[in-house]
Amino acid sequence: MKQDELKQKAALAALDYIPEDGVLGIGSGSTVNLFIAALATKAHLIDSTVASSVASFNLLKHYKIPVLDFNQVASIDVYIDGADEINPLFQMIKGGGGCLLREKILATAAKKFVCIVDGSKMVTALGAFPLAIEVLPMAQSYVARELVKLGGLPVLRDGFISDNHNVILDVHHLPLHEPIALEEKLAGIPGILGTGLFAKRPADSVLLATTEGLQFKERT
Ligand code: 5RP
């Protein structure tokens, strides 16, 4: 089975997680795009959604799914998003699409985070995928030097500006054996606005589609 078909399986399974009379947080990326398309058939069941990117917001609007600004909602009941890597503790690397800052805000605010992935995203240890870091443009060189001191190799995402008008550094080779400690250390570097390392806020559930079938996993 092709990767896109596995993404579709995971996306369809996430329909079971639509909250009744609640706010649904929507992530970003190709798996989430499939979820949004599937959601269109259930628009009548949806109270309201909030989106983690301009692209997802526009897609929700396109399918006439009610979508609000995050400032208009008091809480998020369920947040559904993909990942670039996820480990057995459900910690993740995200941000391949560059939406990591808003994704982390919504994921952290959400009562429940459901991660939808195909089998290629499941890893024993995070770190083969470069870590996306959103940086204030005026601090880009300083932050890059600080990342090198931590053992990383930062690469500016060429021609990319985030929804928040910032740049993204894709950082290779960062030591990721202690994900929570690294996430906290990165958060302490002035100029870093957010990272794609989701260790302090792991997923609560994973819908994992592999060629063997669909697995529902809950964090214990
Ligand atoms: C976007 C993300 C995505 O969730 C991640 O990149 C996975 O994307 P896809 O579903 O296209 O494989 O973090 O910022």
Q: E-strand spans in 52-173?
A: 67-68, 76-81, 85-86, 92-93, 110-118, 131-135, 153-156, 167-172
Q: What angle do CA 108, 113, 114 make, to 5 degrees?
A: 155
Q: Which atom of ligand 1 is nearest to the CA of 33?
A: 10
User: What pLDDT, in 10s, does the model give residues 149-172?
Assistant: 999 999 999 999 999 999 999 999
Q: How far apart are CA 190 and CA 128, in angstroms?
A: 25
Contact between 39 and 46 (Cβ < 8 Å): yes
- pLDDT digits 0-9 by tens, 43-63: 888 999 999 999 999 999 999
User: Looking at the predicted structure, is the pLDDT value of residue 1 above 90?
Assistant: no
Q: Is 104 in the pocket of ligand 1 (CB under 6 A)?
A: no
**Per-residue confidence (pLDDT) for residue 217, from 0 to 100:** 97
pLDDT over 90, % of the chain: 97
Report the pLDDT value the prediction gives residue 220, as an integer from 0 to 100.
Answer: 87
How far is ligand 1, taken at its centre, from the CA of residue 156, in Å? 18
For ligand 1, whether the C-beta of 26 sits within 6 Å is: no
Query: Ligand 1 centroid vs 208 CA: distance in angstroms?
Result: 14
Residues in Cβ contact with 158 at an 8 Å cutoff, skipping those fewer than 6 apart: none
Rounded CA separation 41/58 (Å):
17
Q: What phi, psi does 83 have (nearest 5°)? A: -160, 160
Which ligand 1 atom lies nearest to the CA of residue 53?
14
Residue-wise pLDDT tens digits, 72-102: 999 999 999 999 999 999 999 999 999 999 9
Whether 103 sits among the annotated catalytic residues: the reply is yes
